Chains A and B, each alone.
Chain A
Amino acid sequence: MLKTQELALNMGPVHPSTHGVYRCVLTLDGEYIQKAVNHIGYLHRGLEKLAESRTYNQFIPYTDRLDYCSGLANELAYVMAVEKLLGIEEEIPERAQYLRVICAELQRLASHGICVGSFALDIAGSTGFFYSFRERDRVLELITRIGGNRLTPNYMRMGGVAWDLDEDFFKELKQLMDEFPAYLDEYDGLLTGNEILQTRSIGVAPVSKEMALSYGFTGPNLRACGVDSDLRRDEPYGIYDRFKFDVPVCKNGDTFDRFCMRIREMRESVKIIQQALKDIPEGPVMAKVPKVIKPPVGEVFHRIENAKGHLGFHLVSDGSTKPYRTRIYSPTFVMLGAFPEMAKGTHIMDAVLILASIDIVLGEVDR
């Protein structure tokens, strides 16, 4: 009498397609997933505990290393949260605000570049990987000019930004932004329009609006399900209310929609940077902030629209120079919790694509 048996497969911490040290134990029936169990924590560095023994300024480099694909945006979220605690949100100079917007949108371009490239790599169209990383490299060179480091620039400060940027930087930025839409059309031609990619990702793991809200989806993954929500437009932080940009929304919430969202959002980011380059005024880049940052007793929760979702900081201050409690809400940590549900019943090759479309970064998941 022939029987079939379920196979327990370990997509281990060392795997070419898990986007970092992430382990998933799959129970397979043939090649279809019956159950998936996440195991994370391989990159847990205890940032929340470390924050309690660092001053507010000293913690800024640590936030770079959360989602290491978008360092400047993480710093922005933290710095804005502390400024809210200090009550100096209105005093940030105009030029600093524009520079912050440029940095955040540049990081969005870099982060989405990784998502597009890794998706192409996971579907074995590795040429697409090189195309998107070619652009990402130019963005990273600009970020090196901003902060000295490709991935961990450490540029934002409480009250503004650390230093001003020179004319050459803006010239190169303008040139890159002028050329970028043509590159995005190239990705569309090579990847989005590809028959095999569409067949493999359309209809795979569709997420409904209710499921997305229940599982705490934010960012492009939420907009791919049809929920029109973007913090930059609905609750503008900084000076985002001065920019005109569309918020792309897709209908089905499947893997293909999540992938397309990234390319469409890159187009909007290019628009925002071009508008910022036109309007940026001269002036100081740092407000008058005391040397020792001692916020009054209180707490704050501030979040920004990061490339991957809503990155939030919940800070509790007891009046001293070090935060009493720092809680980092990372979007991919919560969205990864939805992966077992999304992967159930799909093929093992689809599970790899679903993971790529959620766009996790283990630095942010594990903190």
Chain B
Amino acid sequence: MDKIVNREALVGELNQKLGNCAEIFEDTTNQSIKVKADKIVEVMRELRDNPTYELNHIMNLSSVEYPENFTVVYHLNSLTYLHKLTVKVEVEKANPQVPSIVSLWNAADVMEREAYDLMGIVFTGHPNLKRILLADDFVGYPLRKDFKLQA
């Protein structure tokens, strides 16, 4: 089983330091917290630099489309303590925008470009938000549910 961060303590600390931004997210993994989109960069910085948690390794950056919103899922890991945390950010469907965390991890550069390319989520503050896997003049976002495969 994975070692998981103590979410209650973490959420309490985050809300105390950065204002009301985080809450425990109930799902089957039992290791997720939900963070407000505009505070995500500060939260991530706190998670990375706080010596109690030291979540210094970003394992994954996914984008999922649910019927009511887009969710950007960050899987974080600590190489010192070996505990994990999942951070979810929900954005509205009409205008999905999330601040970019490129300033914290350079690995997010390519992963956010891919999320933009395939799902259409705009990462504000990204230095080079262009399509990465598809052609530059491609129209549409393939991973969205309304994009039908043609075969």
Contact = CB atoms under 8 A, between A and B. Distances in A.
Interface of A: 40-41, 44, 46, 48-50, 53, 213-216, 227, 229, 234-235, 296-301, 303, 310, 312, 314, 316, 324-325, 327, 329, 333-334, 336-338, 341, 366-367
A214 B106 contact: yes
Contacts of B2: 235
Contact of A296 (B28, B65, B79, B149): B28
A324 B134 CA distance: 22
A360 B132 CA distance: 16
B7 interface: no
A49 B142 contact: yes
B118 A41 contact: no
A49 B82 contact: no
Given A48-B118, A314-B62, A329-B60, A214 B82 contact: no
Contact of A48 (B27, B29, B59, B143): B143
Given A41-B132, A314-B75, A337-B109, A325 B62 contact: yes
Contacts of B135: 41
Interface string B95-135: 00000000001110111001000100000000000011111
A44 B133 contact: yes
B28 A297 contact: yes
B73 interface: yes
A285 B44 CA distance: 43
A348 to B, nearest CB: 23
Contacts of A312: 59-60, 75
A358 to B, nearest CB: 13
Given A214-B105, A227-B79, A334-B107, A299 B27 contact: yes
A299 B131 CA distance: 27
Interface of B: 2, 27-29, 56-60, 62-65, 73, 75, 79, 82, 86, 105-107, 109-111, 114, 118, 131-135, 142-143, 147, 149
A216 B149 contact: no
Given A40-B132, A235-B2, A334 B82 contact: no
A48 B62 CA distance: 11
B133 A314 contact: no
- Interchain residue pairs A-B with the least CB separation, the first 5: A216-B107, A298-B28, A337-B110, A41-B133, A327-B62
Contacts of B118: 48-49
Contacts of A300: 28-29
A179 B87 CA distance: 48
Nearest to B110: A337
B10 to A, nearest CB: 18
A337 B127 CA distance: 14
A337 B142 contact: no
A336 B143 contact: no
6 contacts: A41-B133, A298-B28, A301-B29, A303-B60, A312-B59, A333-B114
Contacts of A214: 105-107
A41 B114 CA distance: 10
B29 A298 contact: yes
Contacts of B147: 49
B26 to A, nearest CB: 11
A226 B2 CA distance: 24
Nearest to A327: B62
Contacts of B107: 214-216, 334, 337
Contacts of A366: 133
A48 B65 CA distance: 13
Nearest to A210: B56
Contact of B110 (A297, A303, A333): A333
Contacts of A299: 27-29
